[in-house]
Each structure stands twice: as C-alpha cells, then as structure tokens.
Amino acid sequence: MDSSSSLVDSFVGPFSSAWPWASPLPGACLVAARFDPARLDEPTAGHAPGERHGVVLPPRLHGAVAKRRAEYVAGRLCARRALQLLDGRDAIPSMNEDRSPCWPEGCVGAITHSDGWAAALVAHRQVYRGVGLDAERLLSEEQARRLATRVLTAEELVRMETLPPSSVGLMVSATFSLKESLFKALYPLVGRMFHFSAAELMAWPGIGPVRLRLLEDLGNGWTTGCEVTGMVCLHEDRVLSLVSLPAAGPEES
C-alpha cells in the first residue's frame, strides 16, 4: 500500500458498495464508508486539510468547523470511488455556488453523511435525470412528534395518528429523509428551493419501496400530481433513503 492510500485509510474506510435496500437501483453505484473527523487535520507538512486525500476544499469551507470539513472530504472520497465503479473515471465532484455537488459531465449523483458515516450514489444521466440520497438518525416517538408539523402534510399527519406509537419515529424519520432525497434529485432540474410541503408520501407501507406525489408546480415539467419512486431502509441504526428520476421524465397521476 502506498503512502497516499495509508493517509486515506487513516481517515476514512473501508469503502463498501453493498446495497442496503432489498433490491439494487439498476445502473447506479453506491459507495459508503465510516470516517473519523479527528483524523482529517492530523499534522502533515505542506498539506491543507483534505488535500493529502486528494480533495481540495472549496474556499467557503476553509473556515468551517472540523466536522463540516471532514464530512465534505469523506463524501467526496465516496463519490470518487462510486464514479470509478460506475465507468472507471477518476473524478471528484467540486462544489457549485449553491453548495450542491458539481458532478462530471454525463453523470448525476447525491452525497449524504450522518454521524461519522458518508455515502455517495451516482448514475449516468442517460439513465436517470436525477438521483437523491439521504441518511438520518432514527427519531424517538417524542422527537418525531415535535418534528412532524414541520415535515408532514395534513394527510401525512392524519396517517401518522393511525400508527402504533412504536412506528411513529420510523414514519416521520423516513418521510423527512425521503423528502430530503427528493430535493437532492429535483433541485438540479428545477433550479429552485422548495419545502417539505411540496410533496407527500402516497402511503406509508413501512420499510421498502414508496411513491411520492408533488403537491406544487416546481417548473421544468415537474407539476402538481407528478409521481416519483423512492426506497427507504434501516441501515446501521439510521434511516437511509433514495429517490430516482428515470430519464423518461416526470410521471403524472
């Protein structure tokens, strides 16, 4: 193992491409790894934080706290490995002005991180118009009920109240995560911010595949009634979700 590999391994790894959902997303590559924020800034002559791992921090992160810098570097290292698995290219997405990842030409992707764990999902643009990926802590029932009115639509709130107390935390955590994944997938296509109220789960089947419906016109063909597919699972004590937008385009109800 060369010295650069040793440096990477001291901060992040090992990388895993295991698929945590029941079925893989065709044409997509997922890479995840644990990382230790305390190891990013270990003294190394002539290197700024991240650079010894081959990742250049954008200027706006130079003054960020160590945790944020570590999340950025770990997420980009996962993205680089995922792109290598996808088509062999060696590339690291930079950061756009709006802070979203700047993916290589012909690719779409998403990055997430949670409590010392990072992951990246990538695919070819000819297969998917966009993909979203998000990881969240599993909320307790009390935490979920406090968050519910910010995240859930009126119909989702009614649905939550029909659940046994033991299921409330999972339902709210998953809904939050899926809407974050939806935003990551759609934002590059519509070019505008939107909130949790812009979409809702059509049903709550529990862990597994789900469908979401837009409740607002977001532009670029993504109108009220369009439906998208997602998946949610429990992975190492966290809720992990993805949303995929096939290249065929929006689907209307």
The yes/no answer on whether domain 3-125 falls in CATH 1.10.287 is: no
pLDDT at 47 over 60: no
Please report, for residues 35, 90, 108, 187, the alpha-carbon distance to residue 111 in angstroms, rounded to integers and kept in the order given: 14, 17, 11, 14
Predicted confidence at residue 9, as pLDDT, reads 58
Query: 220, 210 in Cβ contact below 8 A?
Result: no
pTM: 0.92
Of the candidates 78, 20, 18, the residue with the CA atom closest to the CA atom of residue 232: 20
Mean pLDDT of the chain: 91
pLDDT tens-digit series, residues 212-231: 999 999 999 999 999 999 99
Predicted confidence at residue 39, as pLDDT, reads 85
* Separation between Cα atoms, residue 243 and residue 101, nearest integer Å: 17
pLDDT tens-digit series, residues 156-212: 999 999 999 999 999 999 999 999 999 999 999 999 999 999 999 999 999 999 999
Predicted confidence at residue 6, as pLDDT, reads 45
* Separation between Cα atoms, residue 35 and residue 62, nearest integer Å: 19
8 or 57, higher pLDDT: 57
- φ/ψ of residue 239, rounded to 5: -90, 130
pLDDT at 1 over 50: no
Predicted confidence at residue 237, as pLDDT, reads 85
Query: 43, 17 in Cβ contact below 8 A?
Result: no
Going from N- to C-terminal start, the domains of the chain cover 3-125, 134-252
Query: 190, 222 in Cβ contact below 8 A?
Result: yes
Tokens of 185: 């997938």
**Considering just the CA atoms, what is the radius of gyration of the chain in Å?**
18
The reply to whether 134-252 shares the fold of 3-125 is yes
Predicted confidence at residue 13, as pLDDT, reads 84
Of the candidates 237, 183, 169, the residue with the CA atom closest to the CA atom of residue 212: 183
Cα 134 to its chain centre, rounded Å, is 3
Predicted confidence at residue 249, as pLDDT, reads 64
CATH architecture of the region 134-252: Alpha-Beta Complex (3.90)
Predicted confidence at residue 3, as pLDDT, reads 36
pLDDT at 239 over 90: yes
Quick one: residue 155, left, alpha or beta (phi over 0 = left, psi -120 to 50 = alpha)? alpha
pLDDT > 90 in the chain, percent: 80
Of the candidates 235, 134, 239, 148, the residue with the CA atom closest to the CA atom of residue 187: 134
pLDDT at 46 over 90: no
* Separation between Cα atoms, residue 217 and residue 112, nearest integer Å: 26
Predicted confidence at residue 250, as pLDDT, reads 67
Residues 6+ apart with CB under 8 A from 183: 132, 194
pLDDT tens-digit series, residues 100-155: 999 999 999 999 999 999 999 999 999 999 999 999 999 999 999 999 999 999 99
